[in-house]
Structure 1
């Protein structure tokens, strides 16, 4: 029987299995910006690496503010590579509204049901403002605690970040379920700690092969699945 849950945020709670590269791809397309896959990937990776090297995100920044900074970094990169007329506000609004709708319709109801009988810890690669983000979306009352890469100094796919999550939950791995959208960052390292795993298999990006205990296509399936373990 499962006694505790560890869950990812980016690509999982926020987008229900859609990798952020694909979210931005759709946003640029809807806003009429024609980009090659290679150029968008480069812009996406450059923004993530810039955020990783520099402390640009304050602990009180909302998710919307975080997205605003990411979008601005991508725009700067794309403009340096000859792409003009990028409506950053429209891209930001599309992405933020998509996340807001998904959390309201899918993630929050699923977590609300699960937390009636299980403690939930968030284990995520994020920028140090996860508590502010949870408050922004009304999820703070549903999450027991947060293990955040920029705070603890360990990033996925290092299994040690999941070991920290286990310590926070206070349960043995075999009665703990880890849920995430990334085979390489979530499922495989969680399995190395001995956890049971559920892969949220959505619209990913260059995923590794993995062998989770179960696979779902939406977090809405999770409340009915957990009692079967």
Structure 2
């Protein structure tokens, strides 16, 4: 019997299951940035690793600020590697256009997620477990999600990152529940489903638009959903 929930954040509550690389790549294409997907992918990974060092993002930075920095790092990387040639004015304009585009999508996605979580919270305690940059509490407040969770386990704070199963044990401890009584909900099969199952939790895979052709063992998750609202039939 499920007695509590653990939710992932990035790619789960803020994009409806779409991989963040895909979200940004699609925005680049909508705005006509003339780069190949391979070149963009390299810049995306570079920016993620740069921000993940923990020296750039501050606890008080909003998601909008974080996204703006991420786009700036990506675009500078594309230019510095010769993948994109454009003047400063054009780069700045595209930066602002893509920022507005993506941020608007995140606001819509988090508002939808909030509606689902509010219903789940009526019956179950919930904890957030996320690989993030040290500012997840500011981001949750930005989107009105801060009052929904009984605890927040953030990799940059606790020093454990997915896919280490220990981070999910921290989540079950925060709930005060045995792992087998907790449902973990996440979009990443590698970072959420596999380690959560290894930690002894039940799992719900939010199967959205991925960024690779990887094939996973769909017998592993207890539930596969395409939309968070599907969870409401489980509660």
TM-score interval for Structure 1 and Structure 2 normalised by the shorter chain = over 0.9
| Equivalent residue number for residue 25 of structure 1 | 25
Match of 1:173 among 154, 174, 179: 179
Say whether the 8 Å CA contact 1:174–1:196 is kept in structure 2. Answer: yes
| Equivalent residue number for residue 44 of structure 1 | 44
For 1:1-16, list aligned pairs within 5 A. Answer: 1-16=1-16
Q: 1:166 to 1:41 in 2, by over 3 A?
A: same
Stretch moving more, 75-84 or 204-213: 204-213
| Equivalent residue number for residue 214 of structure 1 | 223
The alignment status of 1:93 with 2:104, answered yes or no, reads no
TM-score (norm 1): 0.95
The alignment status of 1:115 with 2:121, answered yes or no, reads yes
Stretch moving more, 34-43 or 147-156: 34-43
Offset of 1:81 from its aligned partner? 2.6
Take 2:227 and 2:101, find their aligned partners in 1: how far apart are those partners? 20
Offset of 1:198 from its aligned partner? 0.3
Say whether the 8 Å CA contact 2:54–2:134 is kept in structure 1. Answer: no
Match of 1:198 among 197, 204, 222: 204
Say whether the 8 Å CA contact 2:54–2:133 is kept in structure 1. Answer: no
Take 1:190 and 1:153, find their aligned partners in 2: how far apart are those partners? 17
Q: Stretches of 4+ moved more than 3 A in 1? A: none
Q: Which runs of 5+ in 1 are unaligned?
A: none
Q: Which runs of 5+ in 2 are unaligned?
A: none
Say whether the 8 Å CA contact 2:54–2:156 is kept in structure 1. Answer: no
Offset of 1:132 from its aligned partner? 0.5
CA RMSD of superposed structures (Å): 1.1
SS class of match (1:9): coil
| Equivalent residue number for residue 223 of structure 1 | 232
Offset of 1:174 from its aligned partner? 1.1
Take 2:99 and 2:34, find their aligned partners in 1: how far apart are those partners? 17
The alignment status of 1:130 with 2:136, answered yes or no, reads yes
TM-score (norm 2): 0.93
Offset of 1:205 from its aligned partner? 2.5
Offset of 1:19 from its aligned partner? 0.4
Offset of 1:34 from its aligned partner? 2.5
Offset of 1:8 from its aligned partner? 0.3
Take 1:54 and 1:132, find their aligned partners in 2: how far apart are those partners? 16
Take 1:164 and 1:79, find their aligned partners in 2: how far apart are those partners? 41
Say whether the 8 Å CA contact 1:178–1:198 is kept in structure 2. Answer: yes
Offset of 1:53 from its aligned partner? 2.1
| Equivalent residue number for residue 147 of structure 1 | 153
SS class of match (1:23): helix
User: Cα deviations across residues 48-98 of structure 1 (Å, max 9, x unaligned)?
Assistant: 011122411110111101101101100110111331243111111111100
